[in-house]
Amino acid sequence: MPAQNTPPGSRPPTSGGLPGWLTILLATACGLTVANLYYAQPLLDILRDAFDLPVSTAGVLITVTQLGYALGMLLLVPLGDTVENARLVQVLLAITAVGMAAGGLAPTFAVLVVAAAIASATSVVAQVLVPYAADLAPDHMRGAVVGRVMSGLLAGILLSRTVGSFIAEIAGWRAVYLISAVLMAGLAVVLRLALPRHPPTSSQSYAALLRSTAQLVRTHPQLRRRSFYHACVFAGFSAFWSTIAYVLTSSPFNYSLLGVGIFALVGAAGALVAPFAGRLADKGYVRRLTPVACLLTATSLVWAGFSGHQIIMLAMAAILLDTAVQCSLIFGQHTIYLLDSSARARITSVYIAAFFVGGAIGSQVGTYAYHLGGWFPLTLTAAAFPALAALVSFTERLPRTPARQSNVDAP
């Protein structure tokens, strides 16, 4: 039976690829869940006023959210190799819904931070679904399929700022969290009914699963390299997006929350590059283009620093930044998914956890750099992270075989 006619409840054959409706559903689910991590970024100014906080304290919410996600990656995503994915996704989304509802009703900033940490830890649903899609895709289309699903994830990251700003402008910041709680509950039901059942690839105990995850880090140099590269790239990305709201809401821009959201919407154009990046990865250009993506990230941040008060130039820098970061992410995922097909969830957990730790570091360093020196010193500090990744990537040997050879560990 062709893959497109495979009914929900059974695993479609990988030879025919994923049905279009399933790819769209997975991309949408990834976007909606990962958005929970970013709704607060353009709201820091209003949260600071609501809870009477200094700038540096308000930024803690972003840092804790990213660290919560990293913890969820390490402790929850590996379960994707041993627990039936549809059931795991349903449970995680239910907890996320509760966490977001608690955040929307939080009486103090401390309660909001705890609720955000819980919701972010279980929002790793997106990273259960990406390796799930990779498992269902045929080998020759895996990069393209992952790219399409990841385009939904990055769109969620970028559009969440716009959506969060728009809702907060109309109904207040609490409505952002409460609406997300309703979406998570609805998504839990839809995915439980629609996802093809995917039998676990491992029967290990949870403790053995975590030990094997650590073993994967020791075994695969490319997992370590790719995690480091994107952690640095994402640190620069997070430093930019964690502080841009302060820039846009102050003089000379004096934008409202909606204005900040519209700016973020412009940056979302970077998500369009995901399928193209996936095809380049399928053709074997990952290693050659990795330093290019890192250097483009650093260049876009320096460009943003020199843009000063020119909003058009700042927006163009944001688009270039998001495009470069998306390419880096896809290149890394394409590489790590070739390492061990029976451990994709565990490998993903290491990769994503590492770069969200990088993001947390970037957010906190960026907040302090902006508080101490302003916008230009911030962008230079942020650019140092991807520049370091580019330097390290130049130490990686290029394969001597034709371009279509798998980009796995260097000899």
Average pLDDT over residues 20-33: 90
124 within some domain: yes
pLDDT tens digits along 137-178:
777 777 778 778 877 877 787 788 888 889 999 999 999 999
136 within some domain: yes
159 within some domain: yes
401 within some domain: no
Give the least confident one: 6-10, 150-154, 266-270, 364-368: 6-10
pLDDT at 17: 58
pLDDT-based confidence at residue 331 (cuts at 50, 70, 90): very high
Judge whether residue 42 has pLDDT over 90.
no
pLDDT tens digits along 266-310:
777 776 777 788 888 888 899 999 999 999 999 999 999 998 789
Per-chain mean pLDDT for the chain: 85
Please state the domain count of the chain: 1
300 within some domain: yes
CATH of the domain at 203: 1.20.1250.20
409 within some domain: no
4 within some domain: no
Give the least confident one: 89-93, 120-124, 134-138, 361-365: 134-138
8 within some domain: no
Entry pTM: 0.75
Cα–chain center distance at 307? 26
Residue with the bigger pLDDT between 151 and 262: it is: 262
Tell me the residue range of the domain where 306 lies: 18-393
